[in-house]
């Protein structure tokens, strides 16, 4: 990227879409469903690592376009050479389409998690990390302790469905577990999160001052994306750029 100037650099705003190779994908579950999604890859480089994202509760408006994941897919292939998979879990709709099946309270969704991991394996996507947000964190904890996964990042975990047994299973893997907890979360706040996640010795619980469950606003989104990149790609320059010197995707 050339030297940026105020005249040539675009400020990265909430609707800015940076260049990536984007393709619609389908995920096929072991119980016979087709799920719809999108894979975003760096334009020129091979991905350095892969984010497999699991969205918030579909019965409360969560889907593959939930804003943190949309912005991750719009920015991180260009800013950090990450591959980003977003998809609708069973029974969930977005402009991309509707995934087959019906919401199953996190039980049948075990097959959705497995299908995402399998897609990464089939496509040869490197170093897959699970990223769960709210309900998506329950899916990570309940179903994501897979040998193919390098680690997981949890955003606003409510710990409603996930049990101590699920936490113990993650502890036994020894795989990294990064837990971002908003100071003003509606369900689980940092002090209680530290107590609950103490069962997982390798868990790193990070309280985020001023943030809320939905990570609304650019400062909150930037913090999340910086934490993701910092843990998945140790040593990558941070904070991520706030300006882009180059073409934008439409």
Express each pLDDT in 56-66 by its tens digit: 999 999 999 99
Q: And the tokens for 3?
A: 């030297």
Q: What is the pLDDT of residue 249?
A: 87
β-pairing, 128-133 with 151-155?
parallel
The per-residue pLDDT for range 183-242, each reduced to its tens digit, is 999 999 999 999 999 999 999 999 999 999 999 999 999 999 999 999 999 999 999 999
Q: Which of 76, 75, 52 is nearest to 64 (CA)?
A: 52
Q: Which of 116, 157, 152, 150 is nearest to 135 (CA)?
A: 157
The pLDDT-based confidence of 4 (bands split at 50, 70, 90) is very low
Contact 84, 51 (CB under 8 A): yes
Q: What is the pLDDT of residue 9?
A: 87
H or E stretch covering 22 = strand 21-28
3-state secondary structure at position 111: helix
Say yes or no to pLDDT of 112 above 60: yes
CATH code for residues 10-244: 3.40.50.1820
Say yes or no to pLDDT of 2 above 50: no
State the average pLDDT over residues 18-25: 98
Query: Token pair 């990042």 is at which residue?
Result: 153
DSSP state for residue 38 in the 8-state scheme = E
Q: Which of 120, 176, 153 is nearest to 225 (CA)?
A: 153
Q: What is the pLDDT of residue 1?
A: 42
The per-residue pLDDT for range 140-171, each reduced to its tens digit, is 999 999 999 999 999 999 999 999 999 999 99
Query: Token pair 């940076």 is at which residue?
Result: 18
Q: What is the total residue count of the chain?
A: 250
Say yes or no to pLDDT of 106 above 90: yes
Q: How far apart are CA 144 and CA 169, in angstroms?
A: 10
The per-residue pLDDT for range 187-204, each reduced to its tens digit, is 999 999 999 999 999 999
DSSP state for residue 47 in the 8-state scheme = P
3-state secondary structure at position 166: helix
Domains of the chain by residue range: 10-244
Contact 26, 36 (CB under 8 A): yes
Say yes or no to pLDDT of 7 above 80: no
């Amino acid at each position: 990227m050339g030297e940026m100037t105020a005249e040539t650099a675009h400020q990265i705003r909430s609707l800015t879409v940076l260049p990536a190779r984007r393709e619609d994908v389908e995920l096929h579950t072991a119980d016979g469903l087709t799920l719809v999604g999108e894979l975003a890859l760096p334009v020129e480089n091979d991905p350095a690592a892969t984010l497999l994202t699991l969205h918030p509760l579909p019965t409360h408006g969560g889907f593959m376009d939930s804003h943190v994941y949309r912005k991750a897919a719009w920015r991180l292939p260009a800013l950090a050479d990450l591959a980003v998979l977003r998809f609708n879990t069973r029974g969930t709709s977005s402009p991309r389409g509707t995934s087959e099946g019906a919401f199953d309270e996190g039980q049948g969704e075990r097959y959705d998690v497995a299908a995402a991991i399998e897609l990464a394996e089939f496509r040869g996507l490197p170093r897959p990390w699970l990223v769960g947000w709210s309900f998506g964190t329950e899916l990570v904890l309940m179903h994501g302790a897979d040998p193919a996964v390098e680690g997981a990042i949890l955003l606003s975990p409510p710990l409603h469905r996930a049990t101590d047994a699920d936490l113990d299973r993650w502890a036994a893997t020894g795989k990294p577990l990064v837990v971002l907890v908003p100071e003003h979360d509606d369900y689980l706040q940092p002090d209680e999160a530290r107590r609950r996640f103490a069962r997982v010795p390798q868990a790193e619980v990070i309280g985020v001052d001023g943030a809320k469950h939905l990570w609304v606003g650019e400062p909150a989104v930037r913090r999340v994306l910086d934490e993701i990149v910092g843990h998945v790609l140790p040593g990558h320059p941070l904070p991520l750029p706030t300006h882009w010197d180059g073409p934008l995707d439409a």
